[in-house]
Structure 1
Amino acid sequence: MYKIAVIGDYDSIYGFAALGLATFPAGDAESGTTLLRRLAQGDYGIIYVTEALAAMIKDEIDRYDEQIRPAIIRIPGVSGNTGEGIAQVKSFVERAVGSDIIFNEGN
């Protein structure tokens, strides 16, 4: 069975430990890249990364986009939501079903 990890600044991720997820604090690109590589090679099927950290290690995350495992999912942190996580999920859904499923009345 695959495990689930959360990577990001400590304040954003410590609450996930209460849910039984493995948390890995990383505050800079170097530690984030190292952790992501290590977790991706391990038994982690899903790796949540805070949007702030994901912006710092975008090139590293892009390496895993076409792979089935691990799924790397951006989540908002305490610094706020940049919209990157929602855009990523929307993109995944569009690829899976072949069209955009979110309807905006104003658009």
Structure 2
Amino acid sequence: MYKIAVLGDYDSIFGFAALGLDTFTVQTREEAAEKLHQLAQGGYGIIYITEKLAAELTHEIEKYQEQVTPAIIQIPGIAGNTGAGVTGVKKSVEQAVGSDIIFGS
């Protein structure tokens, strides 16, 4: 069975621990990149990552986009929603289905 991780700054992710998810706080881009690779190799099927952090790790995240696992999903942080997470999910759905399923956007 795959595990679920949440990666980001403490204030944005601490609540996910109450849901039973494994949370990993990082301070620097380098620390985040290393932790992302550890999680990807460590049996995590889903890795939630804050949008701000994902923006800093674009190159590292791209390495996993053609793989089935882990699914790397962006979530808003405490600074707010940038829309990057919704855009990423929309793009993934378009690739899987072959068309845009969200009308009016």
Deviation at 1:96, TM superposition (A): 1.2
Unmatched segments (≥5 aa) in structure 1: none
- What's 2:96 paired with? 96
- What's 1:32 paired with? 32
Unmatched segments (≥5 aa) in structure 2: none
- 1:1-107 alignment to 2 at 5 Å? 1-104=1-104
CA–CA distance in 2 between the matches of 1:42 and 1:85? 23
Deviation at 1:97, TM superposition (A): 1.1
Deviation at 1:28, TM superposition (A): 1.9
Report sequence identity in percent.
63
Query: 1:2-53 deviations in whole A, cap 9, x for unaligned?
Result: 0000000000000000000000001321111010000000110000000000
TM-score normalised per structure 1: 0.95
Output the amino acid matched with 2:47. I
Query: 1:62-90 deviations in whole A, cap 9, x for unaligned?
Result: 11110111000011000111111000000
CA–CA distance in 1 between the matches of 2:57 and 2:103? 31
CA–CA distance in 2 between the matches of 1:27 and 1:92? 28
**3-state SS of 2:67 partner:** coil
| Alignment size in residue pairs | 105
Runs of 4+ in 1 over 4 A off after TM superposition: none
CA–CA distance in 1 between the matches of 2:24 and 2:2? 16
